[in-house]
Amino acid sequence: MNGTESNLIRVLVVDDEQSILDLYQEIFCPREDLSESTSKRLDGDPAAWFDLTLCQQGDEAVEVVRLATEEDNPFAVIFLDMLMPPGPDGMWTAEEIRTLDPHTEIVFVTGYSDVTQKEITSRVLPQDKLFYLKKPFYPDEILQFGLALGAKWESERGFRTVQAELEGRVRERTAELARVNKHLQHDIAMRRQTEEELQNTLDKLQEVMGGIIQAMATALETRDPYTAGHQRRVADLASAIAVEMGLSEDELIGIRTAGALHDLGKISVPAEILSKPSRLIETEFCLIKRHCQVGYEILQEIGFPWPVAQTVLQHHERMDGSGYPQGLSGEDILLEARVLSVADVVEAMASHRPYRPALGIDEALAEIFENKGKLYDPQVAEACLRLFAVTGFQFRQQVERVDYL
């Protein structure tokens, strides 16, 4: 079955135990004849979205990945055992697969504990495409990994495609302008015409970039209904704060763009953690905290004319150095990130979350007032407080398409 043509999530499982392979088969491709509930699951459950391939040895899996890559039909997610006698182990297999396909998501699923996660992540890069799960596992864990990582892989593949297309258009347009420029030296009328064409091209590219930002923001919101509209509302408040502070139009656009994408890295977090109706445990919170770094790694390859990736990376930093992921303090934090952090806190506290009801705007503003100068930039905090107290700023509750550029 061709996963690309069928829009299925291509999954490869590598394990030497047939019973484990049978379990994976049941998780990703349940049989219709098991029960009435199973048949219903096939009709509507995401488990029917997978194209599953099973291997018992590492060298066999490497050849399967090689063929899939050559046919431009790569695997999105690979579940990999560590010990698979008599053949090579999972570490060798993962390193070989990475040389063939640097983009596939690899999940080590093993009961073998002599190899530490630190050793694995030091040898099998990049770290944001490597996960670790110990046996025995719950079937729902495997299914959620498949769904979440499959969505992450598909999204990143789409971003790479769009970026390649844009770069190709830029190269084509640059070559065209070089030819036109030859004639502009002798014909001022042609110069004006070409300048108009350039402006039209810039407008179109700006429109495309705005569409990309909208699509990236929507991709996360569709996975996390509890925060649907959160990024949009944060972008609105951050923009209003920037205007209140008298920042430039260029800074304003950069802040709005970063606000629209600041939680993009949560696309790497399993959906059940994002919507968990109780407080997170330490390991779950560590996964959530990585969203700043993951968002930065996705966005840094896009040639924004503003420090969008750095702003996303730093939006949970605090003035006293108590934030994450780098523990920056004071003016070491980008001004754009300082603006975004205040807007993010206010919106998050004022809105409903799976683990608590909305705290309300009054309590959110009290938090900003009490911690201005300690956690939050005092100028940013004062601008935010003025917006609500004097200007009468209110969050838009209606979720609608927004032109970010």
Cα gap 70→361, rounded to integer Å? 55
Cα gap 32→48, rounded to integer Å? 11
pLDDT at 122: 75
* Torsion over CA: 51, 57, 62, 67 (sign): negative
The encoded tokens of residue 296 equal: 């930065």
Torsions phi, psi for 184 (to 5 deg): -65, -25
pLDDT at 131: 87
How far apart, in Å, do the first and last CA atoms of the chain sit?
41
CA triple 210-216-222, angle to 5 deg: 130
> C-alpha dihedral over 382, 385, 390, 396, to 10 degrees?
130
Q: What stretches of 275-377 show up as alpha helix (H) in DSSP? A: 282-289, 291-299, 308-314, 335-350, 361-370
Cα gap 174→183, rounded to integer Å? 15
- Domains detected in the chain: 3-153 (3.40.50.2300), 223-391 (1.10.3210.10)
DSSP-assigned beta bridge partners for residue 105: 77
The encoded tokens of residue 364 equal: 């959110």
Under 8 Å CB-to-CB from 81, ≥6 apart: which residues? 14, 15, 16, 17, 20, 90, 108, 109, 110
pLDDT digits (tens, 9 = 90+) for 208-227: 555 566 656 666 666 666 66
Cα gap 10→8, rounded to integer Å? 6
Q: Is 29 left (phi over 0), alpha (psi -120 to 50) or beta?
A: beta
pLDDT tens string for the chain (405 positions)? 344 445 789 999 999 999 999 999 999 987 654 344 333 344 455 546 899 999 999 999 999 999 999 999 999 999 999 989 899 999 999 999 999 999 999 999 988 766 677 777 777 777 778 888 888 889 999 999 999 999 999 988 888 888 888 888 888 887 887 777 676 666 687 777 666 766 555 555 555 555 566 656 666 666 666 665 888 899 999 999 999 999 999 999 999 999 989 988 888 877 777 777 778 788 877 888 898 999 999 899 888 889 999 999 999 999 999 999 999 999 999 999 999 999 999 998 988 776 677 788 999 999 999 999 999 999 999 999 999 999 889 887 654 444 545
Torsions phi, psi for 79 (to 5 deg): -100, 125
pLDDT at 190: 73
pLDDT at 120: 75
Under 8 Å CB-to-CB from 332, ≥6 apart: which residues? none
* DSSP annotation of 229: T
Which residue in the block uniquely carries the two structure tokens 């899996």? 61
Cα gap 183→69, rounded to integer Å? 46
DSSP codes, 115-175: S-HHHHHHHS--GGGEEEEESS--HHHHHHHHHHHHHHHHHHHHHHHHHHHHHHHHHHHHH
pLDDT at 292: 92
Which helix H or strand E contains 11, and what residues bound it?
Answer: strand 9-14
Cα gap 400→233, rounded to integer Å? 11
**Alpha carbon 161 to its chain's center:** 16
Cα gap 158→180, rounded to integer Å? 33
